[in-house]
Amino acid sequence: MSPMTELGLRFVRRPGPGGRPANLAAFGATAVVALLVTFLIAGSLGLTHRSDRIGWRSADKAGPATAVGMLSLNDDQSVDGHRLSVLDLAVLKPSEPAPPGLDHAPKPGEVFVSPEVAKHWSSLGKQFGTDKPTGLISRKGLSSPEEYIVIRGVQTISADQHPQYVSSWHDKVWDSRMLGLLIAVAFGITLVLFPILSLVGQAAGVAAKRREHRLAALRLAGATRTQVLWLSAVEQAVLGLAGAVAGLVGYTVLSPLIAQIPLGGGRWYISDITVQWWTVLVVLVAVPILSVISALIGLGRVSITPLGVVRGQTRKGVNAVRLGLLVIGPAILGYYGLRGAFVPVLIGVGFAALAVRVIGPFAVQVIGKIMAGNANRAVTLLAGRRLVDDPKGAFRPVAALVLSGFVTGFISVFMPSDDANSSFQDMRIGVALLLSLVFLTVAASTAAGAVGTALDQAAPARALRRSGVPLQVIERAARLAAVVPVLGVGLPVVGFGALCGLALSGGKVITQGSSGLILLLGQVIVGLVLVAVAGAAGAPVLRKASAN
């Protein structure tokens, strides 16, 4: 083991003054990232598993001469408030194995039902002409435990019913509803990707910031740039790996609850969303690597200018040239929004979210200058100078929160209210699920950012306390510096997200009623609560770190 590797492991075990809360914050944030990544991968695979079992019902790619069966699906009925699907099936080749979930191919007049339909058969028997179903459809032929479906054997299906022809009961054909959900999931992943990446950076940045001065001292003592970066990578990799393991364990524990989400027509079989070995491998490798990359980016100036770190020099500010990014995303969405070009739309959303992330510090810097220039109180002056001196550092703790405002504003124009449409029901549940993921990311990111900011401000806060500035003034200035970016940047970003949503929809507001407005108000309230909680979490750390 190299000396730097050994030293890195030692720093993990004994992080030094202030290092333990930083490591705990980084560990917790990384665990949340691993949990979310596992959820997104397992959920996407779960849709695939569902579709594999029922995809043959959507098949229509065989000719009458070669088909094993012909079918017609009707889902206009309902039972006890649930949509009932009735599938008429004419088996053309009885020698072929039975369709998935059935013990034999249904003959004309035979009726197979799902377990949920069997519970209500007393009211359905007369309609289907039998007092008792021929058999139950097993889970191998159902999309969910709550699916309401009847498979009825028929002699043939007339041409005016537009029959579908099936070449095999095990065709790899996507079920239309599952395919729509998978596309929505891909779109949702794009929206939540930047908050998650922001959280990864936050998790790495908290610990990296703490170790910045220590590593700078090692550079001044003679350590090479490569040795310093390797030491930091070892530290962050250990924290990232521990967080990834915790996230996987957390997902496994929460799986029974996740399986209760009624998406795509019902709850989930737990086996559908159970993580596979390669998913575990991806999480255990990807999360630590992302953490290490983020940490090394954050330590760039240590490897280049260690004297600057020791002397407390601040980073360069940001310029207004990046404002041009604000027009790229909406322009792409406006051009491709109604053309069905899925990948360009995802790229447009990515550019819009990137614009928020890049321009945020510039906006914070401008707000800070206004505050400092018009300050008539010490609290306002300190907060304004803090925003001007390090706008990137001030924006970092609230970056995920501001990005969540973009997500909320974007989807606020797509909130249908038709309860009878199953696709709209899926859309509303999907939006609620997406916002839950975003807010979970925001909560973890804001809390970790509060700890990081407190440690970052320990030295100037200590100097202020020694010069006689009351601790209350320092803490109030820190809270004000945290709230201002949320209000000054977050609220305009909500409008920018709504603008991108309108560009995608061709200027049409699909939201009906007050659901979109409620969504936006909920975002503002949640954001302010999170900032207040994060401020409360960072205050003890700042108080303790600036005491000596």
Q: 242 and 102: one domain?
A: no
Rounded to 10 degrees, the C-alpha dihedral 448/450/456/457 comes to: -170
On the question of pLDDT at 65 being above 60, the answer is: yes
User: For position 453, what pLDDT does the model report?
Assistant: 72
**Predicted confidence (pLDDT) per residue in 473-515, tens digit:** 888 887 787 778 777 887 788 888 888 887 877 767 666 666 6
Mean pLDDT of 100-115: 91
Most confident of 59-73, 210-224, 295-309, 522-536: 59-73
Which band of pLDDT confidence, cut at 50, 70 and 90, is reported for residue 294?
confident
Q: 287 and 379: one domain?
A: no
Q: 307 and 422: one domain?
A: no
Number of domains in the chain: 3
Share of the chain above pLDDT 90, in %: 10
Mean pLDDT of 155-181: 83
Which band of pLDDT confidence, cut at 50, 70 and 90, is reported for residue 269?
very high
On the question of pLDDT at 364 being above 80, the answer is: yes
Q: 122 and 145: one domain?
A: yes
Structure-model confidence comparison of residues 302 and 390, the more confident one: 390
Which band of pLDDT confidence, cut at 50, 70 and 90, is reported for residue 300?
low
What is the pLDDT of the chain when averaged over all its residues?
79
Structure-model confidence comparison of residues 53 and 347, the more confident one: 53
User: Global pTM?
Assistant: 0.74
User: For position 248, what pLDDT does the model report?
Assistant: 94
Q: 151 and 207: one domain?
A: no
The answer to whether 283 touches 34, Cβ cutoff 8 Å, is yes
User: For position 425, what pLDDT does the model report?
Assistant: 73
On the question of pLDDT at 301 being above 60, the answer is: no
User: For position 446, what pLDDT does the model report?
Assistant: 72
Q: Which amino acid is at 341?
A: A
Among residues 166, 197, 218, the one where a domain terminates is 166
Is 199 a member of any domain? yes
- For the ranges 243-247, 256-260, 523-527, the lowest mean pLDDT is seen at 523-527
- For the ranges 41-55, 246-260, 288-302, the lowest mean pLDDT is seen at 288-302
The answer to whether 258 touches 273, Cβ cutoff 8 Å, is yes
Q: 256 and 111: one domain?
A: no
Q: 365 and 300: one domain?
A: no
Please give the Cα distance from 147 to 67 (Å, whole number).
26
Is 329 a member of any domain? no
CA 192 vs CA 41, 47, 468: distances in Å: 13, 19, 44
Is 301 a member of any domain? yes
User: For position 111, what pLDDT does the model report?
Assistant: 93
Q: Which amino acid is at 322?
A: R
What are the tokens at 138? 């097993």
Is 245 a member of any domain? yes
Is 129 a member of any domain? yes
Q: 193 and 119: one domain?
A: no
User: For position 426, what pLDDT does the model report?
Assistant: 74
Q: 111 and 197: one domain?
A: no
What are the tokens at 40? 């997104």
- For the ranges 28-42, 298-312, 505-519, the lowest mean pLDDT is seen at 298-312
Strand partners, 79: 82
Please give the Cα distance from 102 to 137 (Å, whole number).
5
The answer to whether 354 touches 338, Cβ cutoff 8 Å, is no
Mean pLDDT of 422-443: 73
The answer to whether 40 touches 282, Cβ cutoff 8 Å, is no
Structure-model confidence comparison of residues 456 and 233, the more confident one: 233
Among residues 245, 279, 313, the one where a domain terminates is 313
The answer to whether 233 touches 297, Cβ cutoff 8 Å, is no
Is 53 a member of any domain? no
Is 351 a member of any domain? no
User: For position 189, what pLDDT does the model report?
Assistant: 77
Is 332 a member of any domain? no
On the question of pLDDT at 424 being above 80, the answer is: no
Which band of pLDDT confidence, cut at 50, 70 and 90, is reported for residue 204?
low
What are the tokens at 228? 């310093």
Among residues 290, 313, 336, the one where a domain terminates is 313
**Predicted confidence (pLDDT) per residue in 520-540, tens digit:** 777 777 777 776 776 676 677
**Predicted confidence (pLDDT) per residue in 116-127, tens digit:** 999 988 888 888
Cβ neighbours around 253 below 10 Å, total: 10
Please give the Cα distance from 319 to 490 (Å, whole number).
19
User: For position 256, what pLDDT does the model report?
Assistant: 92
Q: 188 and 244: one domain?
A: yes
Please give the Cα distance from 111 to 86 (Å, whole number).
10
Mean pLDDT of 430-441: 74
On the question of pLDDT at 7 being above 60, the answer is: yes
Query: Which H, E and C letters describe 445-474, residue by residue?
Result: HHHHHHHHHHHHCHHHHHHHHHCCCCHHHH
Expressed as residue numbers, the domain containing 82 is 60-166
Radius of gyration, alpha carbons of the chain: 28
Q: 132 and 257: one domain?
A: no
What are the tokens at 124? 């359905």
Q: Which amino acid is at 316?
A: K
On the question of pLDDT at 110 being above 80, the answer is: yes
Q: 133 and 183: one domain?
A: no
User: For position 393, what pLDDT does the model report?
Assistant: 74
On the question of pLDDT at 442 being above 80, the answer is: no
The DSSP bridge pattern shows strands 135-136 and 149-153 to be unpaired
CA 67, distance to chain mean position in Å, is 42
**Phi first, then psi: what are they for 246, rounded to 5°?**
-65, -40
On the question of pLDDT at 84 being above 70, the answer is: yes
Q: Which of 243, 96, 259, 265 is nearest to 177 (CA)?
A: 265
Please give the Cα distance from 25 to 48 (Å, whole number).
35
Please give the Cα distance from 248 to 274 (Å, whole number).
11
Q: How many helices (H) and strands (E) does the chain have?
A: 20, 6
